[in-house]
A and B are shown apart, each in its own frame.
Chain A
């Protein structure tokens, strides 16, 4: 059974490798100092979608991502691994969105793409760790949802069976299509880029990435090869309600942000010498801290 699948993916700053220059002296986040990556759990979700496409090449896998122009990279990364394309949602009106406004924008785009059988995304993004956008998109589309999925076991007769992680255990769940799934980081890792696909799609671009008229090398190539044109939508393109997008569509407001200063303690510094370690153990034992 060929399926229509939409993958939710996000380009995120790599918060796992934060250097000392990640924060500006004013205490704001220095985004420029952090490399932008494909959100790791969205990669796991992409793999689940591609596995279904492996079973039936007629299955269509498309990515939708919201972000600045450079987030087109996420769609190219998908193309390099075998997706059928994707949509970049980009507009100043989307900026400053909390999870609710983000889910509104994504749901609106998914409707315009044509409601799929499966919407699948990572459990959470590493820059927010909220795990909220998936279920919120499901609610907005009126889809059932299964979160924390570790594998898709089968899809047949309009039903999907998945294995998911729960607190202290695992569950197997059967649900009718259409469905929204969020995928855990312990699901199968994503396949690497395919060299042939990289060659084919390396010049794929969204309109916003294109240099001004006349400066675009290989201009005629984009007419000859329509697959090099990545779809880009604004709020108007998806007929979105601006008041539900971005900052104005976000019920949560950031009251303030602080660089946290923990109460520094006066610490006793020791070396790794036998003498120092033994005296520490003796001290802890004597004060009945251990033992």
Chain B
């Protein structure tokens, strides 16, 4: 009862990084609350294959659901598992990845349990909440902190009366750290049929293509990112040239992705990838909060912008006032001539 739960996402028998990031965060929250960290995983042929990828993050109890029809993921069976497990275990917090799966599953579970869910949190903390109207103080709630309203404000959301307090978090926002490779957590193998009625396996995945990521933007030491100010898909090629030269990766702001300059999977920000590079070169990016939420931990930020008042310049170490077409080729040229 009252423990912290993390829903573990898998691809085949591989635990996804985002789940390990959440376990790391979940462990800290559980310690702060003085409760246990529990995890739940559902798939097909996972028994014996996933435990060692989960327990070392400090999981006290792992619930494994292994059965046909649980991989690939479909909404209803996984919802049944979480809803019925949560009715029995009564967790106080449930975390899941803000992935396609987490964003499909989380709301369905929250609706079944009438519990509050906050999407795409960028910070999670424990704290008190005073409901002034009801004259009531709630101790140790989960603060679900996220940019809101197109990234123009940051809101702290709480769920005072409903459990579990549910939150989704994007991949890369939290950091995965093994607590103890030998961590002795209990593993419970549940009988899937007790949780999922047979008629809930009606959605069939008839074809599926998953490709390994084409790039490693999340872990890149140098990121060259472009915004709407890059102006065109062709100008984005300049960014790719610079990134290749610096052994970095290209990222983009949402505005650039929406304008079709760059693929969606390179979007940096609250609703995209979060990066922590050594150097972040922001090209023609104005710097909405949603974007900054995804790159503010970069060590060195270089902003190239024709607008000297672009908001991103405030957090930049170097500001170059100029256009992307002008400055990026110069960076390439002088890097080539000085680096040898």
Q: Is B115 an interface residue (CB 8 A)?
A: yes
> Does B317 reach chain A (CB closer than 8 Å)?
yes
Question: Does chain B have a CB within 8 A of A250?
Answer: yes
Give Cα A61 to B207, complex, Å.
Answer: 29
Contacting pair B319 A262 (CB below 8 A): no
B111→A268 contact, CB < 8 A: no
**In the complex, are the beta carbons of A174 and B155 less than 8 A apart?**
no
Closest to B161 in A: A251
Partner of B315, one of A130, A134, A258, A263: A263
| Secondary structure class of chain A's binding surface, majority of residues | mixed
Q: How far is the CB of A289 from chain B (nearest CB, A)?
A: 6
Which residues of chain A are within 8 angstroms of B75 by Cβ–Cβ distance?
A: 135, 138, 144-147
Tell me if A278 counts as interface (CB < 8 A to partner B): yes
Stretch of A44-52, A96-104, A211-219 lying at the B interface: A96-104
Question: Do A135 and B108 have beta carbons less than 8 Å apart?
Answer: yes
The answer to whether A145 and B108 touch (CB under 8 A), given A131-B103, A176-B202, is yes
Is the pair B316, A99 in contact by a Cβ cutoff of 8 Å? Answer: no
Chain A residue with the shortest CB-CB distance to B207: A172
* Structural contact, B296 and A262, CB atoms closer than 8 A: yes
The bracket for how many chain B residues form the interface is: 35 or more
Contact (A139, B118) CB under 8 Å given A175-B203, A260-B289, A262-B296: no
In the complex, whether A1 has a CB less than 8 A from a CB of chain B is no
Contacts of B100 in A (CB 8 A): 147-148, 165-167
- Our pick among B264, B292, B338 for the contact of A262 (Cβ within 8 Å) is B292
B residues near A136, Cβ cutoff 8 Å: 107-108, 110-111
A256, B152: Cβ atoms closer than 8 Å: no
Report the contact-size class of chain A (Cβ under 8 Å from the partner).
35 or more
Known A-B contacts A252-B157, A281-B331; the reply to A23 vs B119 at CB < 8 A is: no
- B24-32, B185-193, B209-217: which one contacts chain A? B209-217
Closest chain B CB from A39 CB (angstroms):
12
A285 in the interface, Cβ–Cβ < 8 Å? yes
| Cβ of B311 to closest chain A Cβ, rounded Å | 9
Query: Judging by beta carbons under 8 Å apart, are B316 and A251 in contact?
Result: no
Q: A195 contacts the other chain (Cβ, under 8 Å)?
A: no
Q: Given A272-B330, A274-B330: A256 and B156 within 8 A (CB)?
A: yes
15 contacts between A and B (CB under 8 A): A23-B152, A130-B120, A135-B104, A136-B108, A136-B111, A161-B206, A171-B207, A251-B116, A255-B129, A257-B154, A259-B152, A264-B314, A269-B308, A278-B334, A281-B334
Seen from chain B, the residues whose Cβ lies within 8 Å of a Cβ on chain A are: 11, 72, 74-76, 79, 99-101, 103-108, 110-112, 114-120, 129, 131, 143-144, 147-162, 202-213, 222, 246, 255, 258, 264, 270-271, 278-279, 288-289, 292, 296, 300-303, 308, 313-323, 326-327, 330-331, 334-335, 338-339
Known contacts A132-B117, A267-B319; can you find 14 more A-B pairs with CB under 8 A? A129-B119, A129-B270, A166-B101, A166-B210, A171-B72, A252-B144, A259-B152, A263-B315, A265-B314, A268-B318, A272-B326, A274-B330, A284-B279, A290-B246
On A, residues with C-beta under 8 Å from B are: 13, 15-16, 18, 22-23, 27, 29, 98-100, 103, 126-136, 138-140, 144-148, 161, 165-176, 186, 250-260, 262-265, 267-272, 274, 276-278, 280-282, 284-285, 289-291
